[in-house]
Amino acid sequence: MDVRRCSRCLYTEHHPLGIHLDDDWLCSGCRVHEEKDQLDWAQREQKLTDILNQYKNRNGNNYDCIIPVNGARDSFFIVHTVKHKLGMNPLLVTYNAQYNTDRGIRNLALLRTVFDCDIFTLTVSPHTIKTLTRATLRRLGSLYWHVLAGQTVFPVQVAVRLKIPLIIWGAHQGIDQVGMYSHLDEVEMTRRYRKEHDLMGLEAEDLISDDDQIFEKDIYQFMYPDSHDLANVGVRGIYLNNYLRWDTKQQHENMLDLYHYETADQQRTFDRYNDVDSFVYSDLHDYIKTLKWGYGKITDHVNREIRLKRLTREQGMHLVQTYENKPVGQLDAFLAWLGTTKNSLNFMLDQHRHPDIWQRDENWNWFKQQTIIEPPSHLIERQRLAASEYCEFELTASKRPDYQEQRYVLLAKGWPS
Ligand SMILES: [Zn+2]
């Protein structure tokens, strides 16, 4: 399959969220990203303040809003902004992804402590999680389905249960990566987007199966509340990146100065800030992404920094070559956790390799057969952004340097060695 590459970033037309190139071969993601330097962000922030004011609980008998958090990503920035800058009283909710690093658990404990917010945590039975993960690996080639499903639905369930209508999310990937919407569309959370993109088309109910031994009791924690209940409470989810100029690297650096949480080297990317709470995200999960889509998270991170003028296209290409073929670091730990073998896992994953990208040679080894058409050089020069900042991700010292990050840690369940 021949695909064209963007004249500014390194995305091709082949992207899970959908991307298109214009006459200059500039992709929709790069085009919408230009809004970050064009919009009046003071005015956008005022709009956010106006929305939040409608949800402030004047009686003091309930929370003002819900913020989904975990031990990484933009959690510190979001809670800091909503609580300290915008004066809201949030309830934090967290879905235990169970692929936790020791560091991620410490970061989440620090977040609970420094912001002094109430927090709801959902830890689904590890046995159920393993059953679901076996099924989603087989059906979708995904070990991350339960995390995506849990993270996107637990806050909504809590909103309905506690009658807190407003949920505040960070960045909407459809806007930030591929320009599916303009910031001005002010797109909000929907069940449909969750199903189609976060859950790869498979909702919890679709997993019920005698063959997999999955019954309703195993999946109700992942089911979306019904529309009648949502309407009764008036639940809505807004994304902060529609109202604040989103720059995750800068945001992290500001928050690291204030709260001193831990960053870490990652196996398959240079980004030391995002996803340091997970054993699998920048590891086996990312490797699987390359089987399905032909590229890994390193390309997402490089493109983000090219658009924010911290990397040139050429530096980005070099980083992709450096990281994309790095081996999976935590494979044995994952296989031990799931109770399977490397051969069984590979057999399942091979079913999900994209047939336009991967083929077997005569020795039955896989090779990449996708042809990427690079843009004409005059278009690259026309769309080039000058990199004006140094792209370095700060590495903090571990607060527990003697601990070896070799094992899955199941928060609230201990480690049954
Ligand atoms: Zn682009």
Give distance in angstroms: CA of 10 to centre of ligand 1.
6
User: How many angstroms is it from 396 CA to the middle of ligand 1?
Assistant: 31
Which neighbouring-strand residues pair with 237?
A: 167
| 400 CA → ligand 1 middle, Å | 40
Question: Strand 358-360 relative to strand 366-368: parallel, antiparallel, unpaired?
Answer: antiparallel
The encoded tokens of residue 199 equal 């859950």
| Residue pointed to by tokens 């369930």 | 157
Helix intervals (H) in 271-383 = 284-293, 297-307, 313-323, 331-338, 342-350, 377-382
> Interior CA angle at 128 toward 126 and 131, to 5°?
110
- Span 223-270, pLDDT tens digits: 999 999 999 999 999 999 999 999 999 999 999 999 999 999 999 999
What is the pLDDT at residue 55? 97
Q: How far is the CA of 388 from the centre of ligand 1 (A)?
A: 18
Q: What is the DSSP letter of 59?
A: T
Distance from the alpha carbon of residue 232 to the mean position of ligand 1, in angstroms: 41
* Residue 20 alpha carbon to ligand 1 centre in Å: 9
How far is 1 from 159, CA to CA, in rounded Å?
Answer: 45
DSSP assigned state of 348: H
| DSSP-H helix ranges across 141-283 | 145-162, 173-176, 191-193, 216-219, 227-233, 248-259
Instruction: Give the C-alpha separation, 239 to 224, whole Å.
Output: 19
Q: How far is the CA of 52 from the centre of ligand 1 (A)?
A: 33
**d(CA 301, ligand 1 centre) in Å:** 12
**pLDDT < 70 regions, the chain:** 404-417
Q: Separation of 6 CA from ligand 1 center, angstroms? A: 5
Ligand 1: distance of its center to the CA of 239 in Å?
Answer: 22
Q: How far apart are CA 273 and CA 275, in angstroms?
A: 7
What is the rounded distance in angstroms from the CA atom of residue 198 to the CA atom of residue 187? 16
Residues, beta carbon < 5 Å, ion ligand 1: 6, 8-9, 27, 30
The C-alpha atoms of residue 360 and residue 344 are separated, in whole angstroms, by: 18
- Exposed, middle or buried: residue 130 (CB in 10 Å: 0-12, 13-18, 19+)? middle
What confidence score (pLDDT) does residue 414 get? Answer: 45
**Angle at 198 (CA atoms; ends 280, 38), nearest 5 degrees:** 105
Q: CA torsion sign, 350 to 351 to 355 to 357? A: negative
68: CA distance to ligand 1 center in Å? 29
CA distances from 6 to 3, 380, 390 (A): 10, 8, 23
Scanning the structure block, which residue is given the tokens 């909702």? 203
pLDDT digits (tens, 9 = 90+) for 202-230: 999 999 999 999 999 999 999 999 999 99
